[in-house]
Structures are given as structure tokens and as C-alpha cells.
Structure 1
């Protein structure tokens, strides 16, 4: 017997080997094709890997820059907040100072307005008193007045005038020579009687009473000080809180 036996058996075995070889070649071709596919896929994977690594690096750079930008933004934001706070505080301080200044100005203006109003009222009052005093003085000179009340104004009676009533003021009374007062004289300060002036009533003053020569007071005298000139006629009752002097003025 040979290696493969008989002829028919040999052919059969050759056929089997041939088929096996063809299968192996077929599988080999398939493996080569698959290997090629794997190689191509691997190449694509490497490309993708490189791109991924590049994207990763770029993304990391971007993240670093983003973090740096966020830090700068946060710093700017904090600084901006500080500046806004500082500006707000300065503004509030300025408003407060401005309001205080305005309040002071308003208070000063109101005080000035009130002062002006007070002065105007006082002027009106003085004007009214002055008009009344002038009217009474005119009537006094015509001998028609009964009582002359000058309030807070001085009273001055001209020479030779006859006053048919009394005189009253918180200030001074001055009567010229040869006048006649038929009532009392009441003064908050001083009373001065001219020569030959006669007061038929009493004289009351907190200051000084000065009587001219031959002046006459027929009723009581109440004064701080009394200066009586020569020839003057005085009542029995004289009351003073200060000095009484007689003789020449």
C-alpha cells in the first residue's frame, strides 16, 4: 500500500485536502480582510484619539482661561461693589449735609421771616400808637383831651398847652413852660415840668421828677428821685425811693 492507499482512496483524500486548503485559504482571505478592517478602524481610532486629546487640551486651556476670566470678573465685581458702596455712602453723606444745610437755611429763612413779621407788627403797633398819640396831641393842643395814654412812647407837651385830663406812659413825660395838666401824671421813667407849669393831680414816676421854677404839683408825689427848683409849690405828701433835692436845678 502507498501513502494514500488505492487510487480512488487517494483521489478522495486529495479532494478532502484540496477542500480543506480552499477553506483555509478562504478563511485566510477573510482574516486578511478582517485584519484590514481592524487596521482601518484602528487608524480611525488613533485619529479620533489624537483629535480627542487635542480637544481635551484645548478644552483644558479654555477652562483655565474661563477660570481666569471668572476670577477677574469676580475681582472686578467686588471692586465695583466697593466703589458703588463708597459712592452710595458719599451720596448719602452729601444728601445728609445738603439736607442739614437746607434745614439750616430754611430755619434761618423762617427766623428772618418771623423777625420781619415781628418788626412789621411792631411797626404797625408803633405806627398806630404814634397816630393815636398825634391825634391826641392835636386834641390836647385844642384843649379837648381828657386822658392821654402814650403806652411806650415819650410824651412831650408844648409850652402853654392845657391838658384837661391826665398823662400816662411807660416812658418819659416832658412838659414845657406855662402848661397846665388837670389830671394825674403817671410815667415809667422820668417826669420833667417846665417853669410855671401846674399839675392839679398827682405825679407818679419810677425815675426822677424834675420841677422847674415856680412849678406846682397839688396832690401827692411818688418818685425815685425829686429835684425841686426855686419857687416851686409841692404837696404835703412826697414819697421817694431815692433823693429829694431843692433849690436851683
Structure 2
């Protein structure tokens, strides 16, 4: 099966280019923008060799997994609202997984309970994909996908954003400092083109809900409905220290809100999040 966009994405004017191999779909999308492309344009690679994750981490996508980036023009969006596009992308990706996998409750791997026993954590959140603040998608508590948002003001004054998606469809990477999974491992036998086709449609719907940032409250509610760790102990590594407490919510700017033991609320703009037992040991 080859890659193509969904009907809603096509109707919304989205276009698609597919490469056999790229270093990074985000880099390719940015280069196209610098050469005059305005989007909305999807850039897909059957194999990605040098993908970028958050905080400079690498993200390699072998054949069978999805490496895709969406180039968007954002001249009409308040720059202060651009970061909330990451939550739009997260909501869209969770919706896409649910579309291609059917009943979200079937997306639970057999070893989830065993992993909880080994790690000594609270029972893994099940019932389908979960959103881990700020930009990961989890399944059975393991990383299924990552999202990378990159914004740039071009020389001609245009402002663009590239939203990158890396989804473990057929295989999960090994040797990572955290657990990773893939859709097939979870019993959802689909192909990367299936995921892209669904995602191209669900992000159109999510962006309409977002309405150039003015509707982020609606997106926020959708995001929280699928949030991992909500109401549970959390520890956020900030580089110079950490914030610990209970994950209460995200605010209207997408910042993590943590309530400490003494009732103090702190908002976190960026950091590395750990839940449950890992939160107390972080």
C-alpha cells in the first residue's frame, strides 16, 4: 500500500510528497518552506535516518514505521499561541490511532501487567493511546510516538511551522532508556500508510477546533481526556532541579500544572516528566 492523504485532508488543500529515504522529514519540510513552499504540505519518508526528537534526541524510523511532517503557514496566528499546535497534533494522533485500530480498548499488549509488576509501578493506564506531556503518545505506558514542533520566520517575513510525527507502527526501537512499543506489538495490525491517511484527516478536524489558537480551550479539554498520569504523582526534571507533586492539569497556555504536598501550584513550561514510582525516584 502506498501513501495517500484522506478525503478531508485533500478537500482542505493538503498535498503530499513521499521520499524513499530522508535524513529528516522536518528538515526537508523546512527546506521546502525556505524555497517558497507555503503548505499545507505533508512530507513523508519510507525510511528516516536522522530524525530529530525533543531536546536534540535522535529519532530513527525504519521502513514500516511512520515518519511524516506537516508544513503549515501561520502568518495569521498569534505567535504566542503557536506552541499549542503541539497539543493539536497530539489530539489528532490519538484520534488517528483509534481510527485505524478500531475500539481503543483492544490496543493493550499482553505484557503490560508484567511490566507493571517488574517496575513496581501502579497499574498501567489502559484503554488505548495516552498523551504524555508535552509531546509523546504512550500505549500501555510505553512510548508509541513522538511529536516535534519547529517554527521559523523566513527571510521574506513569512512564518511557518513544521509538525513532525514519528510513530512506531511495525517495530519499536530497542536499547532506549525508556520502554517503547509499536502498534503491531499491541495487536493493531496496520501499515504506516493507514496511519498517515487517518492522521491527515484527524489533524484537519483538530485544527478547525483549534481555530488559529482561539479554540485552544476545546483542544485542551480533548487533550486532558486522554492525558497520561493525570491526578498521579509526577516529577519534572528541569535541568537545574525538579518539580514534584500531583499532575493536576495543563493551563490555557499548555503548561503543566503540578500541585506540591503543601498545596502550592507550579507551572512548568518544559522538562522531562516521570510518573508513579519513577516520579518519587527521579
TM-score, reference length from structure 1:
0.22
Rg larger in structure: 1
TM-score, reference length from structure 2:
0.20
| More strand as a share of residues | 2
State the structure with bigger RCO (CA 8 A, min sep 6), 1 or 2.
2
| More helix as a share of residues | 1
